[in-house]
Structure 1
């Protein structure tokens, strides 16, 4: 890291800065049926800014997950949020011929965002020339976490258990996977019939990742309990950390938005912890000399009334 880059990074690690957000930035998407709309959130100042591409959960859009996107942007990250085809804002029906392949369109959306960084950078006045393309992470919640995991190396097993296409992306250095579903062996009959893409293999998900699961997250798609959401940590190799949040259901305290109806386990304190730990993880994953993650992990371990448990391998 150069002296200039180090100074920018240290500044970003300080007090939150003003955020500039622009939407929709539009990327041409031939064959998708809809151009790809992206929300871009960035610090108003600073150079050599790291990038986080965020994939929303089922039905959401670029307008969701402000508790995370705004927090990360205010602390030095450029956050790019595409709207996937399953978004309620687009209104695709079950009969739409694209519906069976939405899982794949989702992954292609994230790759398209990375391919379109020049256009996205130019879409926000004053942002051109300020992105650090060598420091890119992906993140996602629920279905979005599965989408993001593909760029980290996870693959989909076919009916015979053979891993499908490798859709990982070398540009992506790390990931934050929130409420990522587990192995497909434990799907309910309904899920197995209707969601064949929910048969992941984490054997090749080698990129560093922070996996966050709630110990009260009982999915109606699985025959197992909340431990299903720890599979991505258990069965993936390499540098991984698992944050298990006590009392958290699928919304993990409300990360999808403030006061949203889908939040069944509202907890501002839990959301604050996720904001702080994900930021620390991303900093240290993208800047190896950064000690934020080590400090955050130590602080959680020393907390007498912790909101969660952290383990790493």
Structure 2
């Protein structure tokens, strides 16, 4: 596959520190964050990454390790829904976890200096003017809120603007589409916060979806995961991966049990394309993104399709 040969900068060793603890009054417990960074380089852009339902700061190594080795600093919180915390369903915080997740990402943005100082040798090397938000599955909706996505709060009936001007770009992996009649009965009963609007999601974003991601949360099928692209305004790109299910070939972790469609080649494609997109969207270097688009378009047996507007 041609895109596999897409050039990237040389990988560098990575240092990763966990947990860095941020005080979080009212959350029930402090926020734990993992920070991964290349050991060399300056003016390093930042990615805040939101994990999928039940995961933690220990997940998504295939993405995080690649991004950090190629010049990004990645911040990963453990949200309250993580299996590592064991929050019971009847906990009073459970109905508001979707909102708590967004607050976790904002808390990271508010304390970048503290997080930077927690990693030996990282002080003074961040570029806090170049920050992206990314997330997978439930984490895609979480990151999407910072990009302008709005959730109709099932308790208040309000769709608050939780966007953050510090975020300049986003990558949403396997992210839920619109709610209402598109939701399955299971989703309506168990996930009442799955009712996003993309009408105000104006921040430049790459949406990554699998054409075999047949979710039990919707009656529509895999195209539901493309809603963040088709229903949002502004500069957007969509990478549709052929044959990919919800784990998109294995981005959730190395040999993770939830990966139903293990495909190292697909993961390598995602690594390179997301890296190139973020360098473009954060105004670091647009040539990599142009090369990636051409490489995929020229491929005789592509693993996906890329479109932009």
Q: 2:166 is matched with which residue?
A: 171
Q: Secondary structure at the match of 1:172?
A: coil
In structure 1, C-alpha distance between the alignment counterparts of 2:61 and 2:285, rounded to whole Å = 28
Counterpart CA distance in 2 for 1:110 and 1:131 is 17
Measured in 2, the distance between the counterparts of 1:29 and 1:289 equals: 36
SS at match of 1:37: strand
* Residue pairs, 1:1-313, within 5 angstroms: 14-157=9-152, 164-185=159-180, 186-287=182-283, 289-313=285-309
**Higher relative contact order structure (alpha carbons within 8 Å, sequence separation ≥ 6):** 2
Query: Structure 1 residues 301 and 163 mapped into 2: Cα distance closer, same or farther (>3 Å)?
Result: farther
Structure 1: runs of 5 or more not aligned: 1-12
Give the gaps of 5 or more residues in structure 2.
1-7
* Two-structure CA RMSD over aligned residues (Å): 1.6
Q: 2:59 is paired with a residue of what secondary structure?
A: coil
**Secondary structure of residue in 2 paired with 1:301:** helix
Which segments of structure 1 move beyond 3 Å, counting only runs of 4 or more?
none
Report SS of the residue matched to 1:50.
strand
- How far off its partner does 1:126 sit? 0.8
In 1, Cα distance between equivalents of 2:113 and 2:298: 43
**How far has the Cα of 1:310 moved from its partner?**
0.5
Distance in 2 between the 1:236 and 1:294 partners? 22
Going from structure 1 to structure 2, the CA distance change for 1:309 and 1:197 (only over 3 Å counts) comes to same
Per-residue CA deviation, residues 220-246 of structure 1 (Å, 9 max, x unaligned), is 010111000111111000000000000
Question: More deviation in 32-41 or 193-202?
Answer: 193-202
Q: Is the 8 A contact 2:186 2:216 kept in 1?
A: no
Give the number of equivalent residue pairs: 302
TM-score of the two chains, using structure 1 as the length reference? 0.94
The Cα shift of 1:14 comes to 1.9
CA contact (8 A) 1:155 1:163 kept: no
